[in-house]
Structure 1
Amino acid sequence: MQIIENQFLKATINPLGAELVSLFNKENNTEYIWNADPAFWGKSSPVLFPIIGALKNNQYRYQGKTYTLPRHGFARERVFSVESQMESSITFLLKEDEESLKVFPFNFEFRLVYTLVEKTLSVSYAVKNTGNEEMYFSVGGHPAFAVPLSENSVYDDYYLEFNQTEDFPRWELADGGLIKKEASTFLENTNRLPLTKELFYQDALVFKHLQSTSVVLKADNSDTKLTFDFEGFPFLGIWAAINANFVCIEPWCGIADSENHEQELIEKEGIEVLASHQIFLRTWAVTL
């Protein structure tokens, strides 16, 4: 495990998947990250690369060839190297190899940069196309935050408060984790999403192109809260395992295949296209 810290926060990251496994607030002695209890869900903050969500039949086509990838891609199961580290920041690096090229035919450098500044942890994804042709990919986060955050509150006390009032049509997931063809009405003219365990009994909430760029996880009877900034990510997932004490706030550049997708990678909704030797950069941040 790798640790970075400052006077306020201490973050622990596992090189396997460059996964954030702990974010501890020294001031109030509170752990903000889900403990990865395998009885519910044995992850805490996996990185999603080079796809997000499920592919139709777990396959895609590129330049006439068919490739197979599991849900959310392979990066979360790969060991990243530590490229550089200081007391309050660390950079992890993953490159293509013989195995990755069998399922994702692109040369790349994928860096995850964790940085602590006062009471904020920022997480940056830097994808460099080291090949000579355009690269097609998706990237995103899946951090799970512990709920409740304080002993005097319970799960149903919490809600997500977005920084814009808007409508929230929900893109439901069909069998196999594919996005349904049409959105369903979910919330309208509000900035608040109350949390309940039942909310996730039918899998994740998926939203597209929200006006909001940040959301606060809070309860009216608790002073312990967090602010999550996701500007630049066009898709957002909200999820928890059934009856588990956490909520995932998932910023995505990319999305699962739709039911009617033809499986061509270059036509996939939300796919990012990166020119040769260019760098794609996105950052989300959590402030305690």
Structure 2
Amino acid sequence: MLEVTISSMGAEIQSVKGRHTGHEYMWQADPEIWDRHAPVLFPIVGRLKNDEYTYNGKTYHLPQHGFARNEEFTVEKQSEESITFLLKDTEESRKMYPFEFELRVNYNLMNNLLEENFTVTNKTDGEMIFGIGGHPGFNVPVKNLGLEKKDFYFTTQPSVSRIQIPISKQNGLLDWDNRSLAPTDSLIALSDDLFKNDALIYQLKGHDNKISLRTEDSHFHINVWTRNAPFVGIWSQYPKTADYICIEPWWGIADRSDSNGKLEDKFGMNHLDKGEKFEAGFSITFHGQDDE
């Protein structure tokens, strides 16, 4: 059984602990390394070219991963094992993103499984264009288990190769022309150098995938089910390093280096007509070293 703490600021998971063991599964936001736990990414995922875009001939500025992670959500519904947060557009948000919307982030806890669900509703009189994603950071229990980072690894299901999209060191955008087939049909050993070129980004083509963080030396493992996400990012800070890792299901992605800056043409975005809803989400299961 788990005890989960979620903040209304950003509708962000703060803590997931084993109720009996007290083991903390989530990264605890060390400001010297990475000062987040599990931000919600909206209305973009990743970075825009020059941190700006144009829409209907007007230029807007948006920071990496958008603004939702820095906004106070309201609690719309809550029970012992479920909570739903709501964010609506404001006068300030429309200066960065000229759409009227409702964003709901729902969490459901069932034993050792935590669901994170997104519902985006277009309230604009016209089309709405957006990206959304999760960014949960997990502790790698190196010290608790008396292990080293190299004793942990990733596996993916289904066990197939996937297209990997590199990130340009020059501008932090997708180096689309140099994407390649990555051997994700075998385990990926964890190391600090794994992220020297930024996140590992894989195309999932919308199929259900499972990404697991594991070790042969303990029952500990974490599984992330991406549930139809078209992309996933695996990331940890570099060159600053610490014992954590992020597994990030995305329904959106950073700009390509050849982006023309027009939101209408942005790669990987979702389009909603007036009144329509977009639903997506992912699930995480947590398994402790004591098989709690």
TM-score, structure 1 as length reference: 0.93
Alignment of 1:81 with 2:74, yes or no, is yes
Contact 1:113–1:123 under 8 Å retained in 2: yes
Report the CA distance between 1:120 and its aligned residue. Answer: 0.5
- 3-state SS of the aligned residue for 2:41? coil
In the alignment, which residue of structure 2 is the partner of 1:245? 243
Report the CA distance between 1:184 and its aligned residue. Answer: 4.5
Report the CA distance between 1:192 and its aligned residue. Answer: 1.7
Contact 1:236–1:250 under 8 Å retained in 2: yes
Alignment of 1:170 with 2:164, yes or no, is yes
Moved more, 204-213 or 65-74: 204-213
Q: Which one of the candidate residues 127, 130, 133 is aligned to 2:123?
A: 130
Report the CA distance between 1:27 and its aligned residue. Answer: 3.8
Deviations 1:148-169 (A, max 9, x none): 2642332111111111222244
Q: Which one of the candidate residues 148, 173, 189 is aligned to 1:194?
A: 189
Contact 2:155–2:184 under 8 Å retained in 1: no
Q: Which one of the candidate residues 92, 95, 101 is aligned to 1:102?
A: 95
Unaligned 5+ segments in structure 2 are 287-292
Residues 201/189 of structure 1: CA separation in 2 closer, same or farther (3 Å cut): closer
Separation (CA, whole Å) in 1 of partners of 2:34 and 2:65: 15
Unaligned 5+ segments in structure 1 are 1-7
- Number of positions where the alignment pairs a residue of Structure 1 with one of Structure 2: 281
Amino acid aligned to 1:177: G
In the alignment, which residue of structure 1 is the partner of 2:274? 276
Deviations 1:60-79 (A, max 9, x none): 11111111100000001111
Separation (CA, whole Å) in 2 of partners of 1:169 and 1:216: 18
Contact 1:147–1:154 under 8 Å retained in 2: no
In the alignment, which residue of structure 2 is the partner of 1:4? none
Contact 1:164–1:191 under 8 Å retained in 2: no
Contact 1:152–1:222 under 8 Å retained in 2: no
Separation (CA, whole Å) in 2 of partners of 1:244 and 1:267: 37
- 3-state SS of the aligned residue for 1:115? strand
Pairs within 5 Å for 1:1-288 = 8-148=1-141, 150-174=144-168, 175-185=170-180, 187-188=182-183, 190-209=185-204, 213-242=209-238, 243-288=241-286
RMSD, aligned α-carbons: 1.5
Amino acid aligned to 1:231: R
Separation (CA, whole Å) in 1 of partners of 2:283 and 2:8: 20
TM-score, structure 2 as length reference: 0.92
Structure ranking higher in strand proportion: 1
Separation (CA, whole Å) in 1 of partners of 2:41 and 2:19: 29
Amino acid aligned to 1:91: T
Amino acid aligned to 2:34: W
Deviations 1:213-265 (A, max 9, x none): 11221100011111110021101100001221111000000100000010111
Separation (CA, whole Å) in 2 of partners of 1:19 and 1:130: 24
Percent identical among aligned pairs is 38
